[in-house]
Amino acid sequence: MAKNGNTFYLQLSRRIFTDEYSNLSDGAFRLYVWLNELEQRYTGESRDFFFRTNEELAKDVGMSDKTLKKYKKELIESGLIEHWLGHFIMPDGKKSEKKVSCYRIL
């Protein structure tokens, strides 16, 4: 079930269209829209963040890893998203070796 129970429309904050964010690059804007889509797809009542590997996100958005990191940094610095690294906890209680990027839309 998509966040807010909506499977047909993307909910996007209007603040992205204010003067405060008028200097946001087109690529960062595009990534922000994609992150909103993924947030609505992968979060719900029990969790307010989602995770993707950089490889998965780059493929989702159609960007190279280097370009993705550049635009991700721009969004973090603008205060539009929160980002941290995480691990899966394996059944034996150990952390996975593979890191994932966790995202929260602010």
pLDDT digits (tens, 9 = 90+) for 71-102: 999 999 999 999 999 988 888 988 888 888 99
Closest CA to 75 of 37, 34, 47: 34
Query: What is the pLDDT confidence band of residue 42, given thresholds at 50, 70 and 90?
Result: confident
Say how many residues make up the chain.
106
- Host H or E run for residue 42: helix 26-42
Write out the two tokens for 27: 């690529």
Is residue 17's pLDDT more than 90? yes
Distance from C-alpha of 78 to C-alpha of 88, rounded to nearest angstrom: 28
